[in-house]
Amino acid sequence: MLGFEGIGVVLAYVLTIAAALLCVIYGVINWNKSDEREGKEVKEELKWEKKDEKIKEKL
């Protein structure tokens, strides 16, 4: 079978190629989704900063 000594070697090659393809597909699907989360995180950070400023003013 193409000069491979055992099924384990063939399985390793096939699983490596499959994992690489799955990573590429996942990357394409989730390409711009981080932008949506980033906007929410920035808004949350602004809220925390406002709360911190109010607390500092009270002290």
Q: Where are the domains of the chain?
A: 7-58
Strand boundaries in the chain, DSSP class E:
none
Model pLDDT, residue 24: 97
Q: What is the pLDDT along the chain (59 residues), one digit of tens a residue?
A: 567 788 898 899 999 999 999 999 999 998 877 666 677 788 888 888 888 888 888 77
Model pLDDT, residue 20: 98
Is the overall model pTM greater than 0.75, yes or no? no
> What residues contact residue 2 under an 8 Å CB cut-off, 6+ apart?
10
